[in-house]
């Protein structure tokens, strides 16, 4: 089964988004957790952006020895030299050189011609090769680049020593069919060289980052760039946890595998939330609070009988401590009986019916019924019945 490399850019692209910046110690802490998670590459930062970021990349490179460390650089000499300085302590360094290739970016942002762009790509990749053993080239805004020029830019990058070609959907504009076809055309142009790895880096502006990344895998991509919790510029990047679980659950369909330790996903997500102070939505796939929570009675009944009825992967497999059967106005009697048993009660059918009536009545007002609410209801119903039975059994005065 073919291996998909997971290029984690939580510490670089993820950290660039407003409110997600991390200091050096926080980056080191997160990098150690990413190592435990089993990612293949950690992109630690953008050294030219500040002296602090350069030193943070150096610190991560010194501390984390088991995983290759990457640093980002524009196709400019000063960027490449800053990245090279930052990566000096790394056991296995990678330079990530990028330049926009769409006419929109070249003309409006960079004021460069296509010829100037090709010269910069070739010369800066060649320079980067002097400092590191592995060089990645990213064609920024590849998804909106004219395909013939994109192929030309990729050819120049490969000819000058690029080991990895990343074709990002920088602004989240692509749809899966288009994004996959772009990779197929580039592969065809290059002749599919064995020594070059194609990479996908997708943003989530249209909510398609994970879908586009998976489409790229079908098109021959063998590296996916993503972030924990999907953090990143604007609407974020492709979510690492969603990609890893999708490829694991549907491995027969994709025919590929990652080396991600799924049991570390929940821990990684929670650590990032703790560091950044940004909590994820309850309905977030895989790691959200509701990802393994069930309230509807039909679903709860199915889960009790066989979890596979409504869960395609168990919570324990991704590090979530347990599933939860939430008591609310949609809950069923079977879930209520199980919840009561977990609290130490074994209700009769009549007691269950009365508890159910009270629970649904409370849920209409309070949305969810907490464990202490259920204990109070159960105690009152069962105690009241016990007192009534005792009164009936006592002799008349």
Tens-digit pLDDT string for the chain (397 aa): 899 999 999 999 999 888 899 999 999 999 999 999 999 999 999 999 999 999 999 999 999 999 999 999 999 999 999 999 999 999 999 999 999 999 999 999 999 999 999 999 999 999 999 999 999 999 999 999 999 999 999 999 999 999 999 999 999 999 999 999 999 999 999 998 999 999 999 999 999 999 999 999 999 999 999 999 999 999 999 999 999 999 999 999 999 999 999 999 999 999 999 999 999 999 999 999 999 999 888 999 999 999 999 999 999 999 999 998 888 888 889 989 989 998 889 999 999 999 999 998 898 887 778 888 999 999 889 876 554 545 555 555 4
Strand pairing category for 69-74 and 41-45: parallel
Same domain, 195 and 114: yes
Q: What share of the chain is helix, strand, coil (3-state, %, to 5)?
A: 55, 15, 30
Same structural domain for residues 213 and 150? yes
**Same-domain status, 167 and 315:** no
Decide the pairing of beta strands 164-166 and 293-294.
Answer: unpaired
Map residue 137 onto helix, strand or coil. strand
Q: Rounded to whole angstroms, how far apart are CA atoms 35 and 261?
A: 10
* Same domain flag for 245 and 303: no
Which residues are paired to 340 by β-bridges?
Answer: none
Same domain, 312 and 342: yes
Give the CA count within 13 Å in the CB-facing half-sphere of 17. Answer: 20
Task: Identify the pLDDT of residue 90.
Answer: 98
**Parallel/antiparallel/unpaired status of strands 197-201 and 223-226:** parallel
In sequence order, the 6+-apart residues with CB closer than 8 A to the CB of 80 are 73, 95, 97, 124, 127, 128, 131
Q: So what's the pLDDT on residue 371?
A: 84
Between CA 349 and CA 371 the distance in angstroms is 20
Strand partners, 97: 73, 137
266 and 315 part of one domain: no
Whether 301 is in a domain gets the answer: yes
Q: Which helix (H) or strand (E) holds 78?
A: helix 77-86
- Residue 286 in any domain: the answer is no
How far separated are the first and last CA of the chain, in Å rounded? 82
In a domain, 283, yes or no: no
135 is a domain residue: yes
* Same-domain pairing of 271 and 197: yes
The pLDDT value given to residue 19: 85
- Considering the domain architecture, whether residues 186 and 213 belong to the same structural domain is answered as yes
Domain assignment present for residue 285? The answer is no
Task: Say if residue 221 is in the same domain as residue 330.
Answer: no
The answer to whether the beta carbons of residues 355 and 346 sit under 8 Å apart is no
Exposed e or buried b per residue across 336-371, where buried means at least 16 C-beta atoms within 10 angstroms of its C-beta: bbebbeeeebebeeebbebbbebbbebbeeeeebee
Are both 260 and 316 inside the same structural domain? no
Torsions phi, psi for 74 (to 5 deg): -70, 165
Considering the domain architecture, whether residues 14 and 110 belong to the same structural domain is answered as: yes
217, containing H or E segment = helix 209-218
The count of domains in the chain is 2
Q: Answer yes or no: are the C-beta atoms of 273 and 279 closer than 8 Å.
A: yes
**Contact between residue 86 and residue 71 where contact means Cβ atoms under 8 Å apart:** yes
Does 282 reside within a domain? no
The domain containing residue 272 runs over which residues? Answer: 2-276
Domain boundary among the residues 276, 307, 333 is at 276
At residue 384, the pLDDT reads 64
3-state secondary structure of 351: helix
249 with 303, same domain: the answer is no
Distance of CA 346 to the CA centre of its chain: 42
In a domain, residue 250? The reply is yes
Tell me if 7 sits within 8 A of 225, measured CB to CB: yes
Q: How far apart are CA 68 and CA 90, in angstroms?
A: 7
DSSP 87: T
Residue 33 located in a structural domain: yes
Cβ 167 vs Cβ 142: under 8 Å: yes
- What's the CATH code of the domain at 174? 3.20.20.70
Q: What is the rounded CA–CA span in Å between residue 393 and residue 397? A: 12
Quote the crossing angle between the two packed helices 77-86 and 51-63, to the nearest 10°: 40
* Residue 387: predicted pLDDT: 47
């Amino acid at each position: 089964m073919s291996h998909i490399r997971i290029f984690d850019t939580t510490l670089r692209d993820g950290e660039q988004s407003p409110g997600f910046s991390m200091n050096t110690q926080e980056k080191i802490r997160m990098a150690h957790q990413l190592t435990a998670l089993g990612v293949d590459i950690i992109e630690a930062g953008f050294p030219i952006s500040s002296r602090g970021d350069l030193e943070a990349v150096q610190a991560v490179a010194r501390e984390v020895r088991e995983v290759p460390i990457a640093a980002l650089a524009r196709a400019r000499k000063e960027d490449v030299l800053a990245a090279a300085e930052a990566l000096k302590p790394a056991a296995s360094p990678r330079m990530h050189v990028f330049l926009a290739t769409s006419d929109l970016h070249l003309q409006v942002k960079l004021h460069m011609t296509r010829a100037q762009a090709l010269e910069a790509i070739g010369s800066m990749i060649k320079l980067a090769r002097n400092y590191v053993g592995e060089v990645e080239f990213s064609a920024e805004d590849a998804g909106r680049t004219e395909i013939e020029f994109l192929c030309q830019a990729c050819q120049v990058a490969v000819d000058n020593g690029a080991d990895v070609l990343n074709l990002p959907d920088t602004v989240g504009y692509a749809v899966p069919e288009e994004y996959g076809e772009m990779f197929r055309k580039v592969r065809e142009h290059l002749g599919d060289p064995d020594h070059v790895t194609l990479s996908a880096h997708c943003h989530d502006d249209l909510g398609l980052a994970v879908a586009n990344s998976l489409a790229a895998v079908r098109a021959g991509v063998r590296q996916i760039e993503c972030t924990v919790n999907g953090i990143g510029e604007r609407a974020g990047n492709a979510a690492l946890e969603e990609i890893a679980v999708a490829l694991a659950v549907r491995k027969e369909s994709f025919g590929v595998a990652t080396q991600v330790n799924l049991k570390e996903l929940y821990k990684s997500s929670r650590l990032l939330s703790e560091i950044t102070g940004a909590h994820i939505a309850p309905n977030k796939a895989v790691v959200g609070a509701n990802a393994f929570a069930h309230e509807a009675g039909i679903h709860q009944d199915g889960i009790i009988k066989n979890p596979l009825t409504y869960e395609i992967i168990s919570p324990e497999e991704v590090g979530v401590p347990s599933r939860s059967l939430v008591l609310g106005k949609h809950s069923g009697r079977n879930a209520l009986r199980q919840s009561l048993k977990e609290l130490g009660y074994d209700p009769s059918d009549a007691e269950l019916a009365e508890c159910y009536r009270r629970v649904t009545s409370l849920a209409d007002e309070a949305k969810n019924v907490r464990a202490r609410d259920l204990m109070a209801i159960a105690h009152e119903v069962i105690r009241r019945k016990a007192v009534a039975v005792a009164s009936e059994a006592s002799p008349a005065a």
